[in-house]
Amino acid sequence: MSSVPATRAAQSGLCLNVGGEGETPGCINQQPHWADLCNSVSRTGQPMRDLVRLGAVFLFCENVRLPFPDASVDQVVTNGVPIDRSTWLGPGVQSSEIKRVLKKGAIWLHDGVGAYTKP
């Protein structure tokens, strides 16, 4: 996965990369509790601790409950993460949460493709 360019929404408002590893500039990178920023390497090959040092913002919270009010996020990005399914690590990203936090008219980009626009 190459770096996904920040969109206009991400540049002008709140962009949330659910399961993000710093691959989309300008987004808050949400990670579940099992993520290890000290010892792991991102999908794009950078040590996670280097991403933090370079200014990437990480938010640790459970996938099943994103700590954002309804209709408060200008764009959601997901890249290479399980949607609506559990893995051996725990519950994956929940599409219901993504759709809840998106503002009206805001877009969910999944693997670089517009998957959903909030009506």
Partner 1 sequence: MNTFADLLTAKPPFDPADLQFRAQQSFPSRVSQSHLLMRKPCSPIPNTGIFVVIGAASYSPMELQLLDDVDAAHLNWHNQAQVAVFDVLDCQTTADFEKYLPGVGSVAQSPVVAIWEDGRLAAKQTGLRMVREVLQERHILS
Q: Which residue type, as a one-letter code, is found at position 30?
A: Q
H or E element at residue 71 = none
- Residues 41-80, interacting with partner 1 (CB under 8 A): 41, 43, 45, 78, 80
- Kindly tell me which of 53 and 69 has the beta carbon lying closer to partner 1: 53
At its nearest, how many Å lie between partner 1 and the CB of residue 47?
Answer: 9
Query: Does residue number 36 form part of the binding site for partner 1 (CB under 8 A)?
Result: yes
Query: Can you say whether the dihedral through the CA atoms of 94, 96, 97, 98 is positive or negative?
Result: positive
5 binds partner 1 (CB under 8 A): no
Sign of CA dihedral 41, 46, 47, 50: negative
Q: Using CB under 8 A, which of 8, 53, 55, 88 touches partner 1?
A: 88
Q: Which is nearer to partner 1, 12 or 40 (CB)?
A: 40
Q: In what order do the strands lie in the sheet with 15-18?
A: 57-60, 28-31, 15-18, 73-78, 102-110, 113-117
Q: How far is the CB of 44 from partner 1 (least distance, A)?
A: 8
